[in-house]
Amino acid sequence: MIYILWGQDDYSIARAVDGIKQELGDQASLAAGTTTLENQVSPDELKTVCETMPFMTGKRLVIVNGLLGRFETQGRSRRQRKPPKTNGNQEEVKTFSNSVNAMPDTTVLVLVEGAISDKNPLLKEIAGRATVRNFPLPKEAKLREWIQKKMKDEGGSISPKAVQLLVRLVGSNLWIMASEVEKLILFTAGRTIEEEDVRAVVGYNQQATVYNMMDAILEFKAERAEQLLQHLFLSGLAPVYLLYMLARQVQLIVRAKELMRKRGTNREIQNRLGITSEYVLKKTMEQAGRYSLPRLREVYRRLLDTDLSIKTGKYDGELALNILVAELCSQGGSRPVQSRPGVR
């Protein structure tokens, strides 16, 4: 039996692999008959492992990570860890296909992949005799359904408005979402989870990433800013909402800078800004002390321009933000304009 499990939702792929293991019977016996290989495996190595008869169990399980991605013609699969030695070599594709087709019925082969195309040559060769399942990142309604089911399975309950806020804050990364669901259930101790519970428990990681990204932008650190931007995209955060978070942070920094100039206390600044989190207050005041008003105004103006370009359809969200970060980090040379004592 052959399974091909592919897509960006590696959480659901991992659960699917667990399900296949459960179907194969006693887990203790199966563990001894399970082999995990990476994408660098050779056709001969795969053939040898697949043809090895199981010991003390009815089935042998072979899991290979990223083999199909090795033959992608338009970039590598996300699961591929090293550059491929070949890219779509038809002879090697045929050799792997023969190895797979020759394996005995006692072997269950699971090919675990990231994003691959339907033109993948090895996929075309073996898909006819495989169970192929795609796992895209869940969006909108499907993500809300997933949260409701996860809550029910874990013995919790959540209001529709809290679900919507959870979707907005966490996005489509189900590893993070599952963790947040578990934390929320523990936090609420049996009662229905409401919006205020989500605000109290969720979002620290994304907030921290947004603050770090803002630092990188303001300091012209292009590589760091782009890495953090891609991390936020991969977490499933919507570009428009990310743009809102960045613009809101610039507004807070500017207002905090003015209140600090007037020598307001930390408590006064916190109340005036409407900040409830000590972490958010600390980061905002740090940034207010480090960056000049001209630089902050420049960033804010470009954020507004980017928002307009998305709303008018000039660029899609991810492209617009990538352009924004590249331009902001290339302007003004390599050194940030920072505030100095007595200079505002």
The CATH number linked to 193 is 1.10.8.60
* 110 within domain boundaries: yes
| Residue that wins the pLDDT comparison between 26 and 306 | 306
* 342 within domain boundaries: no
For residue 282, the model assigns a pLDDT of 84
* pLDDT exceeds 70 at position 289: yes
What value does the mean pLDDT take over residues 124-133? 91
Q: Do residue 66 and residue 167 come from a single domain?
A: no
Q: Do residue 27 and residue 128 come from a single domain?
A: yes
* 274 within domain boundaries: yes
Query: Helical H runs in the chain?
Result: 10-23, 27-32, 43-51, 90-101, 121-126, 140-153, 160-170, 174-188, 195-201, 204-218, 222-234, 239-261, 266-273, 278-290, 293-311, 317-330
* 163 within domain boundaries: yes
**Out of 237-241, 247-251, 331-335, least confident range:** 331-335
Q: Do residue 248 and residue 312 come from a single domain?
A: yes
Q: Is 158 helix (H, G, I), strand (E, B) or coil?
A: strand
Q: How many domains does the chain have?
A: 3
The answer to whether 207 and 244 are in contact (CB under 8 A) is no
Q: Which residues pair with 2 in a beta bridge?
A: 109, 130
The domain boundary, picked from 87, 105, 134, lies at 134
The domain boundary, picked from 184, 201, 218, lies at 201
Banded pLDDT at 281 (limits 50, 70, 90) = confident
For residue 203, the model assigns a pLDDT of 58
For residue 339, the model assigns a pLDDT of 42
Query: What are the two backbone dihedrals, phi and then psi, of residue 113, each rounded to the nearest 5 degrees?
Result: -130, 160
For residue 334, the model assigns a pLDDT of 39
Q: Do residue 170 and residue 254 come from a single domain?
A: no
Q: Do residue 197 and residue 268 come from a single domain?
A: no
* 156 within domain boundaries: yes
Banded pLDDT at 37 (limits 50, 70, 90) = very high
Q: Do residue 155 and residue 187 come from a single domain?
A: yes
| Residue that wins the pLDDT comparison between 331 and 56 | 56
Report which DSSP code applies to 68.
Answer: G
* pLDDT exceeds 80 at position 168: no
For residue 335, the model assigns a pLDDT of 43
For residue 141, the model assigns a pLDDT of 92
Q: Do residue 32 and residue 75 come from a single domain?
A: yes
For residue 110, the model assigns a pLDDT of 96
Q: Do residue 146 and residue 102 come from a single domain?
A: no
**What's the pLDDT tens digit per position in 52-102?**
888 777 888 999 998 998 888 644 444 444 444 444 478 889 999 988 888
Domain, as residue range, for 191: 140-201
**Out of 68-82, 148-162, 189-203, 317-331, least confident range:** 68-82
* 189 within domain boundaries: yes
**What's the pLDDT tens digit per position in 192-227?**
999 988 887 775 566 778 888 888 888 888 888 998
Helix axes 140-153, 160-170, angle to 10 degrees: 110
The CATH number linked to 76 is 3.40.50.300
The domain boundary, picked from 134, 154, 174, lies at 134
Q: Do residue 35 and residue 126 come from a single domain?
A: yes
* 90 within domain boundaries: yes
Q: Do residue 39 and residue 122 come from a single domain?
A: yes
Task: Using a pLDDT cut of 90, give the percent of the chain over it.
Answer: 32
The CATH number linked to 239 is 1.20.272.10
Q: Do residue 146 and residue 189 come from a single domain?
A: yes
Q: Do residue 246 and residue 294 come from a single domain?
A: yes
**What's the pLDDT tens digit per position in 257-269?**
999 998 888 888 8
What value does the mean pLDDT take over residues 156-162? 95
